[in-house]
Structure 1
């Protein structure tokens, strides 16, 4: 899977979260908390909860989260140490936290992947949507980030689900399930919209134009 997907990136894709980076790096050094955000949906959910509420306290998070009190405070400490949340005030002796914006760029093989709060919000739901976990586990963060961006293009009518599947090396079924999941999580489209399916002709006629749009000339 990895080798065939790297071939796609040699065509220099440029989407919101995935770009061709040119030279292959010798080593990737990450920050442990950022890595855990990609792997631990509970930690991702806690960060997302703080970000969505703009400011919150430990007791409020304990009420909102499905984890123990100790885990909430362990996560808060971890996120604060990493600079992802900050204490901004105190209310009756209780710390008030706010989430910091961030963009972390990772270089994976020949692709640059931007990790943003929006991606973390989706990852926070991976236990609820098997397609998210399957794409992350079987294909990795590069494929997931590219699929995320293509799903947003799908919501604007720019690509079909079959094109998403082909461009990411996902099966059409997994691509459809991922589109459904992201439509729900990110509230894409209007209240009556749903992911549209495809016919064989969709991909055959439009694939060349799509590749030209996503390829640096």
Structure 2
């Protein structure tokens, strides 16, 4: 479901509307994420992980199929489903930020009700803010930025930056390849302490 600039505007709008529910409803996002992890899973296989009643789970899967983000891979009972890849770039209403809706971002949104730090960050900065934080979290794990740089860039406190970076760390390691040769978190913290001592 990747879209580029040569797609018709109607297709792009339809694709955005088809993923908008995933960004608003954490349980839908978690269901999508579980189906993305399991290639060709039955509803029964994933509903316990999400703590959904059977009727609700089937209703949610049907919504995702109707939205075009999940497809039926095996039509005989029990039906099996797989998530389609999502890669949709969105510009904020102010036009000052652009972010991409990816499975990693949907996974992070899905963790909202299980992780108070992600929930608080979305409440304060919205999904676009979470997408930006996810970009910094990837860079942080690769040893390219520190939480202080993120805090300065986004005009948030260093503590808020550190909290969301830690909360997003499991998502980063699940979806992105992080080379072992990159700086560790301990090395980044040491760099931060050295910089504070020099100031």
TM-score by length of 1: 0.71
CA distance in 1, matches of 2:172, 2:89: 22
Give the helix-richer structure, 1 or 2: 2
- Which of 170, 173, 190 aligns to 2:156? It is 170
- Which of 201, 208, 211 aligns to 2:195? It is 201
CA distance in 1, matches of 2:127, 2:75: 37
Structure 2 gaps of 5+ residues are: 1-12
Tell whether the 8 Å contact from 1:50 to 1:99 is kept in structure 2 after alignment: yes
User: C-alpha offsets along residues 130-188 of structure 1, whole Å, 9 cap, x if unaligned?
Assistant: 22112211112222211111111111111111111121222211211111111133337
Q: Corresponding residue for 2:57?
A: 72
CA distance in 1, matches of 2:159, 2:108: 19
Q: Corresponding residue for 1:116?
A: 102
TM-score by length of 2: 0.77
Q: RMSD over aligned Cα, in angstroms?
A: 2.5
Q: Corresponding residue for 1:34?
A: 19
CA distance in 2, matches of 1:169, 1:72: 40
Tell whether the 8 Å contact from 2:134 to 2:172 is kept in structure 1 after alignment: no
Q: Corresponding residue for 1:9?
A: none
Give the strand-richer structure, 1 or 2: 1
**Divergent runs of 4+, >6 A:** none
Q: 1:63 to 1:199 in 2, by over 3 A?
A: same
Q: 1:185 to 1:154 in 2, by over 3 A?
A: same
Helix, strand or coil at the partner of 1:37? helix
Shift of 1:113: 1.7
Shift of 1:33: 4.4
CA distance in 2, matches of 1:185, 1:113: 17
Q: Corresponding residue for 2:72?
A: 87
Shift of 1:98: 0.8
CA distance in 2, matches of 1:168, 1:142: 12
Number of aligned residues:
174
Q: Corresponding residue for 2:81?
A: 97
